[in-house]
Amino acid sequence: MTTVGNSHVLVYCNVISRQYIGSDMVRCLRTFPSTNCENVFDKIYYVPVEERKFHEIRIVFLLTNGKRVPVEDSKDTNVVRHFRKNYHC
């Protein structure tokens, strides 16, 4: 995997389409530096979803070395998903 930085977190999601991160096609929503305790993003990125209907959305936080970020140990972890209607269907 081509890394985006030595200490970045990659946010993976099972329902989105694959996109390039470095030279790899992965289901990554966003990357951000792992040194921050809080990340608020001022730019919204819309990524196409693969299915129109789904039963669950899985979000996984991984470091660039492949290790999971232990979210359950955190008191406040919020992930906001916003779906925009596609008018080209």
pLDDT in tens, 18-66: 999 888 899 998 888 877 566 777 888 888 888 778 889 898 888 888 8
What is the distance in angstroms between the CA of the first residue and the CA of the last residue of the chain? 33
pLDDT of residue 15: 92
Q: What is the pLDDT of residue 88?
A: 64
The CA-atom distances, in angstroms, between 56 and each of 8, 51, 53, 59, 74 are 26, 11, 9, 10, 22
pLDDT band of residue 12 (cuts 50, 70, 90) is very high
The better pLDDT of the pair 6, 41 is held by 41
Residue 73 three-state SS = helix
Strands 19-21 and 8-13: unpaired
Q: How confident is the model at residue 2 (pLDDT cuts 50, 70, 90)?
A: very low
From start to end of 1-89, where are the E strands?
8-13, 19-21, 24-26, 28-33, 59-63
Amino acid at 52: R
Domain boundaries, the chain: 8-73
